[in-house]
């Protein structure tokens, strides 16, 4: 098994994802406050779980995707899993609407870095730094996929609670 230092090096992320996630969380909080303020009952449970599910989805899709680049490793942090790729295994990098990393073992992509349409973004800096690192190393193969158990467990738990609350509301009328 390959030992990889976790999240060391330069961090790159989506340019507007964090702002959109924060606005979404504020809206979710306002909906929760309004639902809980108006005479709480068991019939509001599906709404509460649905809002929690949306807030969690905002975290997974807009907040969590990141890329960490060190001298030896490139970590593509996705919604539910991380891919740790040895820089020496990378043969090509394409950045457009998403980042596509072509390695000796296969092709991997992430929405974490996208090329901006108006002004220079982290994409240009990331691409330049990664190309420098790729050119300096001989090619070898090493890719490690790590599933994030916490994110999977919370996603499953919120989804099951939402489904159970909807079922209970349907059965109880």
Q: What's the rounded Cα separation, in Å, for the pair 102 and 24?
A: 33
Residues 126-142 have a mean pLDDT of 64
In a domain, 71, yes or no: yes
- For residue 168, give its domain range: 17-63+149-173
166 and 104 in a common domain: no
Token pair belonging to 146: 């790590």
Token pair belonging to 49: 């779980």
54 and 44 in a common domain: yes
pLDDT given for residue 114 in this prediction: 62
Tell me which DSSP letter residue 6 carries: T
136 and 120 in a common domain: yes
101 and 72 in a common domain: yes
Q: What's the angle, vertex CA 110, arms to CA 102 and CA 71, rounded to 5?
A: 60
100 and 74 in a common domain: yes
Percentage of the chain lying above the pLDDT 70 cut = 72
Q: What's the rounded Cα separation, in Å, for the pair 156 and 37?
A: 28
Percentage of the chain lying above the pLDDT 90 cut = 12
Helical H segments across the chain, by residue range: 17-37, 45-58, 122-136, 149-172
Tell me which of 16 and 15 has the higher pLDDT.
Answer: 16
pLDDT given for residue 23 in this prediction: 94
71 and 26 in a common domain: no
pLDDT given for residue 116 in this prediction: 55
In a domain, 2, yes or no: no
Tell me which of 34 and 97 has the higher pLDDT.
Answer: 34
pLDDT given for residue 81 in this prediction: 84
pLDDT at 8 over 60: no
Tell me which of 159 and 126 has the higher pLDDT.
Answer: 159
Q: What is the mean pLDDT of the chain?
A: 78
């Amino acid at each position: 098994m390959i030992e990889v230092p976790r999240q060391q090096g330069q961090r790159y992320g989506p340019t507007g994802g964090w702002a959109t996630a924060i606005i979404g969380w504020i809206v979710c909080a306002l909906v929760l406050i309004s639902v809980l303020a108006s005479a709480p009952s068991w019939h509001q449970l599906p709404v509460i779980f649905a809002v929690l599910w949306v807030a969690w989805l905002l975290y997974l899709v807009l907040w969590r995707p990141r890329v960490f680049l060190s001298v030896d490793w490139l970590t593509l942090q996705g919604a539910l899993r991380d891919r740790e790729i040895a820089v020496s295994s990378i043969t090509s990098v394409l950045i457009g609407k998403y980042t596509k990393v072509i390695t000796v073992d296969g092709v991997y992509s992430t929405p974490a870095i996208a090329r901006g349409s108006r002004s220079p973004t982290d994409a240009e800096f990331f691409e330049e730094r990664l190309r420098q690192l790729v050119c300096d190393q001989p090619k070898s193969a090493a890719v490690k996929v790590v599933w994030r158990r916490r994110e999977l467990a919370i996603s499953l738990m919120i989804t099951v609670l939402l489904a159970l609350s909807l079922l209970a509301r349907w059965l109880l009328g």
